[in-house]
């Protein structure tokens, strides 16, 4: 039987069975088709597209229009994969009605299966209102890149007793507000394990050790296409950047020495017609 899109219920059952699952970012149709052909259960159209696709320094400048522009082709390519659409910075921090408005846009205009937003106790009322309004929400706690400067930069969260307790409270608040799942970024392994055990909703780790219910990576990191920086938690499974650079160099060389295009890449025509033209 072919791949079937997971449901929120199935993710919960996988947690209960101790069966791990995976999520990967994708920002375009071609990558979405590749992921759809793999066993990966979820695609995140993350605001990390600000760096990987748009060349920004951070995720903060990403707009709703840019998110929707990238979510739509992913949804077209990923018919059997659950698609998560990120709410970008500034799209849910003004008011609950702004958050619901933009959550609706991610689902109606983008076609995503749910939205993801960053924050813990501080966004719990927003999450509750969105879920009450029928928008499935994935949380994101720990290192929250949209507000990294408030956290003292891109660093591991929850290392001392106070911040570990705050992180646990964030996780519990997000669950109580009705989120169906929560991403934990840059959290020490023992704390991520404790939170995963305390929650009945699944946790997805990125830099949070092996005990989370699922794992997520950024596609460009996993395949070696983004080399501007490499966080410790990234495992690079392929080196496509080097492959692509080699292919571009071979193309230039073959054009210069006349080996490309060869007869197999060119079109012939009848010599008679040509003679008429001469």
Report the distance separating Cα 140 and Cα 119, nearest Å: 6
Shorter beta-carbon distance to ligand KIV: residue 25 or 102: 25
Interaction between residue 47 and ligand KIV (CB under 6 A): yes
Number of residues that bind ligand KIV (CB under 6 A): 11
How many CB atoms are closer than 10 A to CB 250? 12
C-beta contacts of 181-184 below 8 A and 24+ residues apart: 181/8, 181/11, 181/138, 181/139, 182/138, 182/139, 182/140, 182/141, 183/116, 183/138, 183/139, 183/140, 183/141, 183/142, 183/216, 184/141, 184/142, 184/208, 184/212
> Minimum distance between the CB of residue 221 and ligand KIV, rounded to whole angstroms?
9
Please pick, from the candidates 129, 171, 206, 223, the single residue that binds ligand KIV as defined by CB under 6 A: 206
The span of 30-38, 46-54, 97-105, 165-173 binding ligand KIV (CB under 6 A) equals: 46-54
Interaction between residue 46 and ligand KIV (CB under 6 A): yes
Write out the two tokens for 102. 């933009």
Tell me which residues are annotated as active site. 185
Give, as ranges, the residues between 8 and 27 that touch ligand KIV (CB under 6 A): 25
> Minimum distance between the CB of residue 138 and ligand KIV, rounded to whole angstroms?
9
Shorter beta-carbon distance to ligand KIV: residue 64 or 260: 64
Please pick, from the candidates 164, 191, 216, 223, the single residue that binds ligand KIV as defined by CB under 6 A: 216
Which residues are within 8 A (CB) of 26 and not within 5 positions of it... i.e. 6 or more apart?
A: 32, 35, 43, 44, 45, 74, 77, 78, 219
> Minimum distance between the CB of residue 190 and ligand KIV, rounded to whole angstroms?
21
Phi/psi at 36 (nearest 5 deg)? -60, -30
Report the distance separating Cα 111 and Cα 122, nearest Å: 27
Q: Which residues pair with 42 in a beta bridge?
A: 23, 82
Report the distance separating Cα 108 and Cα 116, nearest Å: 15
Shorter beta-carbon distance to ligand KIV: residue 123 or 216: 216
Report the distance separating Cα 112 and Cα 91, nearest Å: 16
> Minimum distance between the CB of residue 194 and ligand KIV, rounded to whole angstroms?
20
The span of 6-14, 44-52, 147-155, 239-247 binding ligand KIV (CB under 6 A) equals: 44-52
Give, as ranges, the residues between 165 and 204 that touch ligand KIV (CB under 6 A): 183
Please pick, from the candidates 11, 24, 44, 83, the single residue that binds ligand KIV as defined by CB under 6 A: 44
The span of 14-22, 45-53, 173-181, 245-253 binding ligand KIV (CB under 6 A) equals: 45-53
Shorter beta-carbon distance to ligand KIV: residue 47 or 170: 47
Interaction between residue 48 and ligand KIV (CB under 6 A): yes
Alpha helices in 106-160 (DSSP H): 124-132
Give the largest CA-CA distance in the chain: 88
| Residue ranges that bind ligand KIV, judged by CB under 6 A | 25, 44, 46-48, 86, 140, 183, 206, 216, 218
């Amino acid at each position: 039987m072919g791949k079937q899109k997971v449901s929120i219920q199935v993710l919960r059952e996988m947690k209960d069975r101790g069966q791990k699952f995976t999520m990967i970012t994708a920002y375009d149709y071609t990558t979405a088709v590749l992921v759809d052909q793999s066993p990966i259960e979820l695609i995140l159209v993350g605001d990390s597209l600000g760096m990987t696709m748009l060349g920004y320094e951070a995720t903060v400048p990403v707009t709703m229009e840019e998110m929707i522009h990238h979510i739509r082709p992913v949804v077209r390519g990923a018919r059997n994969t659950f698609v998560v659409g990120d709410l970008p910075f500034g799209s849910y921090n003004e008011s609950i009605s702004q958050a619901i408005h933009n959550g609706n846009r991610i689902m109606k205009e983008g076609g995503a299966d749910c939205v993801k937003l960053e924050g813990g106790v501080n966004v719990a009322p927003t999450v509750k209102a969105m879920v009450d309004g029928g928008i499935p929400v994935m949380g994101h706690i720990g290192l929250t890149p949209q507000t990294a400067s408030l956290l003292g930069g891109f660093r591991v969260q929850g290392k001392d007793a106070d911040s570990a307790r705050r992180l646990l409270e964030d996780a519990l608040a997000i669950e109580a507000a009705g989120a169906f799942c929560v991403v934990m970024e840059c959290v020490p392994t023992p704390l991520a394990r404790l939170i995963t055990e305390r929650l009945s909703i699944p946790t997805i780790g990125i830099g949070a050790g092996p005990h989370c219910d699922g794992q997520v990576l950024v596609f460009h990191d996993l395949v070696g296409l983004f080399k501007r920086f490499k966080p410790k938690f990234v495992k690079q499974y392929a080196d496509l950047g080097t492959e692509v650079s080699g292919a571009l160099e071979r193309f230039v060389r073959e054009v210069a020495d006349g080996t490309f295009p060869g007869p197999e890449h060119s079109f012939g025509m009848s010599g008679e017609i040509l003679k008429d033209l001469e």
